[in-house]
A = this chain, B = another copy of it.
Amino acid sequence: MADPAVDSERFRQKFDSFSEIGATDAGGVNRPALSDENKQARDRVVEWFEDAGLDVTIDEMGNIFGRRDGEEDDLAPVLFGSHVDSQYNGGRFDGVTGVLGALEVVEALNEADVTTRRPLEIVCWSNEEGVRFQPDMLGSGVFCDVFDLDYAYAREDKDGNTFGEELERISYKGDAPCEPRDIHTYFEMHVEQGPFLEQEGLPVAAVEGVFGFSWMNVTFEGQANHAGPTPMNMRHDAMVATSDVIQAVRRITATEGTDLVGTVGSVDVWPNAINVIPETVEFTVDFRSYDDDAVDAAVGRIQQEIEWAAEREGLDYEFEQIMRVDADPFHEACIDTVVAAAEELDHNYTRLVSGAGHDANYLNKICPSSMIFVPSVDGISHRESEFTEWEDIVVGTEILLEAVQKRAAE
What residues make up the interface of A, taking CB atoms closer than 8 Å to B? Answer: 87-88, 131, 192-196, 211, 213, 215, 223-232, 234, 237, 239-240, 242-244, 246-247, 250, 253-254, 259, 261-269, 271-279, 284, 286, 288, 354-357, 379-383
| With A234-B379, A243-B243, A250-B240 as contacts: A193 and B226 at CB distance below 8 Å | yes
Whether B194 contacts A263 by the Cβ 8 Å rule is no
Q: Which of B194, B225, B243 contacts A383 (CB 8 A)?
A: B225
Whether A225 contacts B267 by the Cβ 8 Å rule is no
Whether A266 contacts B269 by the Cβ 8 Å rule is yes
A-B contact pairs, 12 of them (CB 8 A): A193-B226, A195-B230, A213-B228, A223-B380, A224-B382, A225-B383, A226-B355, A227-B263, A237-B263, A244-B247, A263-B276, A265-B275
Residues of B close to A286: CB separation below 8 A: 227-228, 274-275
Residues of B close to A279: CB separation below 8 A: 383
Residues of B close to A193: CB separation below 8 A: 226, 228-229
| With A225-B382, A264-B239 as contacts: A232 and B254 at CB distance below 8 Å | yes
**Complex CA distance for A357 and B229, rounded to whole angstroms:** 9
**Complex CA distance for A332 and B122, rounded to whole angstroms:** 84
**Complex CA distance for A308 and B265, rounded to whole angstroms:** 22
Whether B228 contacts A357 by the Cβ 8 Å rule is yes
Chain B: minimal CB distance from A209 (Å): 13
Residues of B close to A194: CB separation below 8 A: 226, 228-231
Residues of B close to A227: CB separation below 8 A: 261, 263, 265, 286, 288
Whether B278 contacts A274 by the Cβ 8 Å rule is no
How many copies the complex holds: the figure is: 2
**Complex CA distance for A88 and B273, rounded to whole angstroms:** 11
| With A274-B284, A274-B286 as contacts: A228 and B268 at CB distance below 8 Å | no
Whether B274 contacts A231 by the Cβ 8 Å rule is no
**Complex CA distance for A92 and B216, rounded to whole angstroms:** 38
Chain B: minimal CB distance from A380 (Å): 6
Residues of B close to A262: CB separation below 8 A: 232
Whether B272 contacts A276 by the Cβ 8 Å rule is no
Residues of B close to A246: CB separation below 8 A: 239-240, 242-243
Whether A226 contacts B356 by the Cβ 8 Å rule is yes
Whether B254 contacts A247 by the Cβ 8 Å rule is no
Chain B: minimal CB distance from A273 (Å): 5
Residues of B close to A225: CB separation below 8 A: 379-383
A261, closest chain B residue (CB):
B232
Chain B: minimal CB distance from A262 (Å): 8
Residues of B close to A196: CB separation below 8 A: 229
Q: Which of B195, B231, B273, B355 contacts A266 (CB 8 A)?
A: B273
**Complex CA distance for A58 and B107, rounded to whole angstroms:** 78
Whether A192 contacts B229 by the Cβ 8 Å rule is yes
Chain B: minimal CB distance from A260 (Å): 8
Whether A265 contacts B278 by the Cβ 8 Å rule is yes
Whether A239 contacts B267 by the Cβ 8 Å rule is yes
Residues of B close to A234: CB separation below 8 A: 195, 379
Whether A261 contacts B231 by the Cβ 8 Å rule is yes
Q: Which of B215, B228, B271, B381 contacts A274 (CB 8 A)?
A: B215
Whether A229 contacts B131 by the Cβ 8 Å rule is no
Whether A381 contacts B226 by the Cβ 8 Å rule is yes
Whether B229 contacts A379 by the Cβ 8 Å rule is yes
**Complex CA distance for A404 and B215, rounded to whole angstroms:** 62
Q: Which of B224, B247, B264, B276 contacts A247 (CB 8 A)?
A: B247
A259, closest chain B residue (CB):
B231
A271, closest chain B residue (CB):
B88
Residues of B close to A229: CB separation below 8 A: 192-196, 354-356, 379, 381
